[in-house]
C-alpha cells in the first residue's frame, strides 16, 4: 500500500526528456502541497545535457552518476517500458530507493495498492480495490476502475478508460484514449494502439489496433527490446 510521508525526501529524477518534465512538475506540485517530496534535479544518459536547467532544476549528470549525487530516492522518468524496466532493475541492484509520486489532482480511492516507483499523473483516477505494480505510469486523465490489476512497468497512456476488473500484464502499453471493457485481460509486453477498444482477452506480446481492437502482429518479448 502506498503511503504519503510528510518528512522531506530529496528525489532525483532519472530522465530529463518530455516525460521527465512531467515528473518534475508532479514533484514540484507535491512539494508545494506539503507532501514532503522535493526534487533536487535530473540525471540523463545524454551527457551533453549535464549542467542545463529544466523547470528550474539542474541536470546533474548521467544515470550512472546517481551514486555520486546526494539524494534519498529516485523516480524513473522514461516513457519506453522496456528501457524503464531495465533501468529500474539496474538501479535496484545498485541499492537505490524508489519513491512513488502522484499529482495533487489525481484521485486515489481507499484500498488502492501502488507499487514502488510508480508515477500517477494529473487527473488520473484509481478506484477501490485496484492494484498497481512497480515502476508503472498512470498518465494524465486516465481512469483505472475498481479491482483492476496493473502489472510492473506498464504505461497507461493519457485518457485511457479502463472498466472494472481489467488485468494488464507486465510491460504493456495501453495507448492514448483507448478503452478496455470490464473484465478483459491484456497479456504482458502488449501494445494497445491509440483509440482502440479492447473487448476481449489479448495474448502476450500482441499489437492491437482499431474498434474493436484486432491483432496485427507480435512484439518481441519485452526483455529483448
Q: How far is CA 77 from CA 60, 145, 152, in A?
A: 15, 24, 15
Residue 62, all three cell numbers: 548521467
| Beta-strand runs (E) in 97-212 | 101-102, 107-108, 113-114, 119-120, 125-126, 131-132, 137-138, 143-144, 149-150, 155-156, 161-162, 167-168, 173-174, 179-180, 185-186, 191-192, 197-198, 206-209
User: Residues with catalytic annotation?
Assistant: 146
Amino acid at each position: 500500500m502506498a503511503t504519503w510521508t510528510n518528512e522531506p525526501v530529496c528525489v532525483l529524477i532519472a530522465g530529463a526528456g518530455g516525460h521527465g518534465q512531467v515528473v518534475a512538475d508532479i514533484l514540484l506540485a507535491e512539494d508545494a502541497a506539503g507532501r514532503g517530496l522535493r526534487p533536487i534535479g535530473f540525471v540523463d544518459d545524454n551527457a551533453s545535457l549535464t549542467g542545463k536547467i529544466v523547470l528550474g532544476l539542474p541536470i546533474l549528470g548521467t544515470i550512472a552518476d546517481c551514486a555520486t549525487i546526494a539524494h534519498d530516492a529516485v523516480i524513473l522518468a522514461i516513457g519506453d517500458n522496456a528501457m524503464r524496466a531495465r533501468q529500474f532493475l539496474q538501479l535496484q541492484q545498485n541499492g537505490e530507493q524508489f519513491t512513488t509520486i502522484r499529482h495533487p489532482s489525481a484521485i486515489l480511492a481507499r484500498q488502492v495498492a501502488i507499487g514502488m516507483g510508480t508515477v500517477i499523473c494529473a487527473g488520473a483516477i484509481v478506484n477501490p480495490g485496484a492494484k498497481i505494480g512497480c515502476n508503472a505510469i498512470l498518465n494524465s486523465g486516465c481512469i483505472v476502475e475498481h479491482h483492476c490489476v496493473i502489472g510492473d512497468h506498464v504505461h497507461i497512456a493519457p485518457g485511457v478508460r479502463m472498466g472494472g476488473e481489467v488485468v494488464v500484464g507486465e510491460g504493456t502499453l495501453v495507448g492514448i484514449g483507448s478503452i478496455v471493457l470490464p473484465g478483459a485481460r491484456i497479456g504482458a509486453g502488449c501494445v494497445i494502439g491509440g483509440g482502440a477498444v479492447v473487448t476481449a482477452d489479448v495474448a502476450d506480446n500482441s499489437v492491437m489496433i482499431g474498434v474493436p481492437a484486432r491483432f496485427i502482429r507480435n512484439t518481441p518479448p519485452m526483455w529483448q527490446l
